[in-house]
Amino acid sequence: MSSTDRFWASVRDEQDRVRDHYLAGAKAHTWVRTRRDPRRWALVGAVPVVAAAALCAVLWRSHLPRDLAFTVPDGRVGQVGAWIAAAPEGPLPLRFSDGSVVSLFAGTRARVAAVDANGARIVLERGGASASVVHRDKSHWLVDVGPFEVVVVGTRFDVNWDSNEEVFGLDLHEGSVLVSGACLQEPRSVVRGHRLRVSCRAAQEEILETRSDEDGVGGTKPTKSAFEPTSEPQVASDGPADSVGAHAGEPAAAPPRLPPTSVLQSEPWRALVATGHYREALELAERTGFDEQCRRSPGADLLALGDVARYAGNAKEARQAYLAARGKLPGGGRSAYGLGLTAFEQEGDFTGAARWFETYLAEQADGNLRREAAGRAMEAWQRAGARDRARAAALEYLRQYPNGVQAPLARRLAMSP
Amino acid sequence: MTDAALVLSLKAHEPGSAELLFERYRPYVERLIVRTVGLDPEVPDLVNEVFARALEGIRNLRDSLALKGWIGSVALFTARGFLRGRRTRRRWLSIFSSDEVPEPVAVVASPEVSRTLVHAYAVLDVLPPDDRIAFALRVIDGMDLAEIAQMVGVSLATVKRRVARAQRLFWDKARRDPMLREHAPPDEEEEEK
């Protein structure tokens, strides 16, 4: 099957999936013996109707709220559609008239493709940005990043697209966003304190906690985006309470904040993880002895090592690291979730995956990945052919997350005989 | 009840026959409408209209065994009229728009609709309705060309021509769309160069 054939097959499947969901509550399911409203314009009445409509449209447009404007650092008014390149030396903040700030990382190339009264559409051709979007009732911002689109209402996040490695990353500090794109099986919702990472080349997607209290993974609050170039001077700040200005690239007086010294000294591969070089990080960990790493590293590091191995496509080492982490973290941390993903995505062991996801749900009553785990468990049971288990998981998912991203699948499974 | 019996029942206005027709062919009609029109908010109304038209026209159906093909024809005729009307409305509206290129219409305000699907239908919207219908049924639905020809009421050669024309136009446009270009087949002209 060619790439084009696969594309049309995916369009067909997605259309069917959405159609089932969309029409489930529509009135098409009830027979109404009437014609829909006629929409043919009578020829005789067409001209005055069109003229009146034109007049109304002109008047209506004249009363619309004003579109947002934005400025670049030297105070010049930004031009919609013009390419903007941040210098290699430092970030370039774009300030919008509603108070939102989008700070392009050093070396990033982007353009503001469109603005209206409620937001803007920003296209990042390469590089990344830190965005702080002011929430209003009708806010609607879009950030196009490579083949991805981030739908924003009001939030603060860092986003990055590595076009060479085909890796997308998004760190969410406040609010929530919806990410969709060709490399994602379905749109993913990212909530505060989580990082979405998608490797188009490896066909892998993952949401990680970045501010977890349960295991300390990535526990350093993101004072500076993990996606920003390392050569750039860092901006001191203190997490979610930061002012917009700090993210807009106005360096404060405090010295640059670096990862904890102990991490850098004892586990050099962790530094590579922070910059998204997973394969290199794994190679470094292997050179220093993977078994030894699993034996002596703290639980949080082992979770990260498991992630690294999984991203690099090494299921065996991912499993080894996650299993080692289980004995070192209270309640296993999120190791069961990692084991579930490894079984699901890399080993095709759907029964095993479902059990690991359910283990995570049992172990982590307040875990930040419960919704994802519940959805994954449901999907894994379905793929394993365990219809009863899938249906039970679907019902439980709907009970807890009736509006979750997996709710359409859950409804379908719940209604299946 | 067989289709032939159902047609007789419909012609005789027997109670429950309309409901049975709806129940039996609703999924089929929905599929045809969604394939050709996309996930437009008016899809439920269009489906409803197809059945209303079918009930009005059932007395003209001579071959009671051809019910499925006939109701498919009604669906496609309804879809065609809708697509034409929508194009006309958009042309009028575009007079008042300052945007050079219209944004893809988010046909259903639901996160389940991927952007790829939305972009694909935004490009399909550019195609003439007849070409679009043939293309959608053949390429997206995978329907047999002869079946399409029968339902649309044109010759097989005409359907082939429409599909080929739509295919060419679709990918010409899609190659300029960052979300679609990676799925495009090799450009023959480029390859020749």
CATH number of the domain bearing residue B89: 1.10.1740.10
B49 interfacial to chain A (CB closer than 8 Å) = yes
Specify the amino acid at residue A106: A
Tell me which residue range forms the domain holding B78. Answer: 1-105
* Dist CA A108 CA A124 (whole Å): 7
Are B118 and B100 part of one and the same domain? no
Are B56 and B142 part of one and the same domain? no
Question: Percent of chain B, pLDDT > 90?
Answer: 11
DSSP label of B127: S
Average pLDDT value for residue range B13-39: 86
Contact call for B112 and A18, based on CB within 8 A:
yes
| Cα four-point dihedral sign B148, B149, B154, B155 | positive
Q: Residue B178: inside a domain, yes or no?
A: yes
CA distances from B122 to A289, A297, B111 (A): 53, 52, 17
Give A57's contacts in chain B (Cβ within 8 Å).
93, 96
Final residue belonging to a domain, choices B105, B139, B163: B105
> Is A340 a residue whose pLDDT tops 90?
yes
CATH number of the CATH domain containing B167: 1.10.10.10
Contact call for A15 and B112, based on CB within 8 A:
no
The full DSSP string for A279-323 is: HHHHHHHHHT-HHHHHHHS-HHHHHHHHHHHHHTT-HHHHHHHHH
> Is A137 a residue whose pLDDT tops 90?
no
What is the phi/psi pair of residue A146, to 5°? 55, -130
Question: Strands A167-174 and A194-199, how do they pair?
Answer: antiparallel
Give A20's contacts in chain B (Cβ within 8 Å).
none
Q: Residue B189: inside a domain, yes or no?
A: no
Give B140's contacts in chain A (Cβ within 8 Å).
8, 11-12, 15
Give A114's contacts in chain B (Cβ within 8 Å).
99, 103
Specify the amino acid at residue A63: H
- Of the ranges A85-99, A249-263, A352-366, B88-102, which one carries the lowest mean pLDDT score? A249-263
Question: How far off is chain A from B55, nearest CA to CA, in Å?
Answer: 9
Beta bridge partners of A132: A101, A156
Question: Strands A167-174 and A155-162, how do they pair?
Answer: antiparallel
How open is the CA angle A10-A14-A16, to the nearest 5 degrees? Answer: 120
CA distances from A151 to A2, A177, A188, A406 (A): 31, 6, 10, 18
What is the per-residue pLDDT for A59? 55
Are B38 and B20 part of one and the same domain? yes
B14 interfacial to chain A (CB closer than 8 Å) = no
DSSP label of A237: -
What is the per-residue pLDDT for A16? 76
Average pLDDT value for residue range A113-137: 81
pTM above 0.80, yes or no: no
What is the per-residue pLDDT for B67? 87
Q: Residue B191: inside a domain, yes or no?
A: no
Give A181's contacts in chain B (Cβ within 8 Å).
115, 179
Average pLDDT value for residue range A89-115: 84
Q: Residue B161: inside a domain, yes or no?
A: yes
Q: Residue B137: inside a domain, yes or no?
A: yes
CA distances from A10 to A164, B3, B113, B183 (A): 26, 33, 12, 11
DSSP label of A195: E
* Dist CA A28 CA A20 (whole Å): 12
**What ipTM does this complex have?**
0.75
Q: Which residues of B28-57 are buried (b: 16+ CB within 10 A; e: fewer)?
A: ebbbbbbbbbbbbebbbbbbbbbbbbbbee
Are B45 and B131 part of one and the same domain? no
Q: Residue B193: inside a domain, yes or no?
A: no
A15, A31, A50: residue with CB nearest B117: A15
Among A residues 119-148, those touching chain B with beta carbons less than 8 Å apart: 144, 147
Between B124 and A28, the more confident residue is B124
A17, A114, A149: residue with CB nearest B112: A17
Are B143 and B128 part of one and the same domain? yes
> Is A38 a residue whose pLDDT tops 80?
no
Give B33's contacts in chain A (Cβ within 8 Å).
none
B18, B34, B51: residue with CB nearest A19: B34
Contact call for A32 and B18, based on CB within 8 A:
no
What is the per-residue pLDDT for A353? 94
A254 interfacial to chain B (CB closer than 8 Å) = no
Q: Residue B188: inside a domain, yes or no?
A: no
Return the closest-CA partner of residue B140 out of A20, A8, A18.
A8
Average pLDDT value for residue range A246-260: 32
Final residue belonging to a domain, choices B65, B80, B105: B105
Are B119 and B97 part of one and the same domain? no
Confidence of residue B133 (pLDDT cuts 50, 70, 90): very high
Are B93 and B125 part of one and the same domain? no
Are B137 and B48 part of one and the same domain? no
Average pLDDT value for residue range A346-363: 91
What is the per-residue pLDDT for A322? 92
Are B80 and B133 part of one and the same domain? no
Are B8 and B88 part of one and the same domain? yes
Are B101 and B11 part of one and the same domain? yes
- Of the ranges A184-188, A256-260, A284-288, B120-124, which one carries the lowest mean pLDDT score? A256-260
- Per the structure, the count of domains in chain B is 2
A4, A53, A178: residue with CB nearest B184: A4
Question: Strands A109-116 and A83-85, how do they pair?
Answer: antiparallel
Give A184's contacts in chain B (Cβ within 8 Å).
114
Question: How far off is chain A from B14, nearest CA to CA, in Å?
Answer: 15
Question: How far off is chain A from B19, nearest CA to CA, in Å?
Answer: 7
Question: How far off is chain B from A395, nearest CA to CA, in Å?
Answer: 19
Return the closest-CA partner of residue B75 out of B153, B1, B2.
B153
Specify the amino acid at residue A372: E
**Axis-axis angle for helices A370-383, A407-415 (nearest 10):** 40
Are B74 and B139 part of one and the same domain? no
Confidence of residue A243 (pLDDT cuts 50, 70, 90): very low
Question: Percent of chain A, pLDDT > 90?
Answer: 10
Question: Strands A119-133 and A141-145, how do they pair?
Answer: parallel
* Dist CA A131 CA B134 (whole Å): 44
Question: How far off is chain B from A5, nearest CA to CA, in Å?
Answer: 9
Question: How far off is chain B from A103, nearest CA to CA, in Å?
Answer: 24
A12, A147, A149: residue with CB nearest B140: A12
DSSP label of A16: H
Final residue belonging to a domain, choices B74, B105, B136: B105
**Residue A199, SS3 per DSSP:** strand
Q: What is the pLDDT of residues A46-59, one digit of tens each?
A: 555 556 666 555 55
The full DSSP string for B39-62 is: S-TTHHHHHHHHHHHHHHHGGG--
Q: Residue B192: inside a domain, yes or no?
A: no
A62 interfacial to chain B (CB closer than 8 Å) = no
**Residue A158, SS3 per DSSP:** strand
